[in-house]
Amino acid sequence: MVYNKRMSSRAYNFNPGPCGLPDAVMERAQAEFLSYRGEQASVMEISHRGAAFMEAYRRAVGLLRELMDIGDDYAVLLVAGGATGQAAAIPLNLLADENQCAAYLITGHWSKRAADEGAKYCRMHVAADTADNNYTALPVQLQIPEDAAYLHYADNETIHGVEFPAPPATAVPLIADMSSNILSRHINVDDYGLIYAGAQKNMGPTGITVAIVRKSLVQTRRQTPMIWDYRQQMDNDSMINTPPTFPIYMMGLVLEWMRGEGGVAEMSRRADEKAALLYGCIDRSDFYNNPAVNGCRSRMNVPFFIADDKLTGDFLSGAQQNGMIGLKGHAVLGGCRASLYNAMPVAGVRCLVEYMRDFEKRHG
């Protein structure tokens, strides 16, 4: 039985990041790879300050502003160093000094890591930590000191598969790591002090990170490395050094594709459909299970386990033989994980669900 009816040399790619990119984007990049729009050189071979690249840069930023409806009181920075770099950059830019308090919510691997890094640069206050229930549920009670400069949280935990259905309620500026769910549903940017995301989960290849920051929150802290200094980056079109030009160009193509498909509203509709298909399949029987509590299950990253874990290896190799890759779970949890980012077509999830049902019939 063939599950992937496309019979393409490109599998359905469930990798958690770097993620699969739309075929149309890859074909466009291939078509203009050697000579970029009359430049007689690749986009990765031209000056980042020249007119052709500046146009690609402005287009990418403009598309992000349009798709997310980002107001003028926010700066959009495209920087290197990953979401990991932002874990240090945030306290270094939003706090005047290390004696200032910042609050962190810990709901899984990535928010824990951001808190550990942030603690080097602030007076750390943990507002809640769901380690006691193995990061399968979101906190009910938050303890946020009045003098906290901000509350940091991860909107979607890529490894543990828990996602906030709505932002946590707080009186202090909200800082969201949206690395793995940005552009997958409508959000109101004005609800946030800062939103950041590595591009490689939902917006493009690896190499750049987006930071959308309310300008009025940015402080000046003397020891902040120049490369992490939001104000300097703001004043220099994110180009205080040579930026990752090829990833910026690729992100622009992905955002253009997204707009052509119907923007965030359509990405959100597809995310609901894909998640409903996969969770529906998992919940049909006890053969598969997903540990996240209903109501905070991620629409982007679905960890799942086969009750008889000895079957996991066969499940994964069978999937690969049938044109579905990237389903191995993260080492922290084991098992399987399907990442359903924006570039994953609904047909890819139908293909996975069909394979899962047949696998269950053969082994259940």
* Piece in contact with ligand PLP (CB under 6 A), picked from 119-127, 176-184, 303-311, 350-358: 176-184
Name the catalytic one among 112, 201, 274, 328.
Answer: 201
179 binds ligand PLP (CB under 6 A): yes
Tell whether residue 154 is a contact of ligand PLP (CB under 6 A).
Answer: yes
Q: Which stretch binds ligand PLP (CB under 6 A): 5-13, 22-30, 79-87, 317-325?
A: 79-87
The catalytic position among 72, 97, 155, 177 is 177
Contacts of 357 (CB under 8 A, 6+ apart): 281
Question: Is the alpha carbon torsion for 234, 237, 239, 244 positive or negative?
Answer: positive
CB distance 167 to 144 below 8 Å = no
CB-closest chain residue to ligand PLP: 82
Nearer to ligand PLP, 4 or 238 (CB): 238
Bond prior to 247 in cis (omega within 30° of 0) = no
105 three-state secondary structure: strand
Distance separating alpha carbons of residues 354 and 245, to the nearest angstrom:
40
For the segment 206-225, give every residue that binds ligand PLP (CB under 6 A).
209
Q: What's the CA gap between 360 and 311, in Å, rounded?
A: 10
Q: Is 228 annotated as catalytic?
A: no
* Residue from 62, 82, 139, 167 in contact with ligand PLP (CB under 6 A): 82
Known catalytic membership, residue 201: yes
Interatomic CA distance for residues 245 and 55, integer angstroms? 12
153 binds ligand PLP (CB under 6 A): no
Q: Could you say which of 84, 219, 289, 320 contacts ligand PLP (CB under 6 A)?
A: 84
Please identify which residue in 15, 100, 130, 158 interacts with ligand PLP, judged by CB under 6 A: 158
The reply on whether position 201 binds ligand PLP by CB under 6 A is yes
User: In the complex, what is the shortest distance from the CB of residue 314 to ligand PLP, in angstroms, rounded to a whole number?
Assistant: 28
CA 352 to chain centre: 22
- Render 338-352 in DSSP notation, one character per residue: EE--TTS-HHHHHHH
Q: Two tokens at 149?
A: 């400069």
Helix (H) or strand (E) holding 78: strand 74-79
Interface positions with ligand PLP (CB under 6 A): 17, 82-84, 110, 154, 158, 177, 179-180, 198, 201, 209
Which residues are annotated as catalytic? Answer: 110, 177, 201
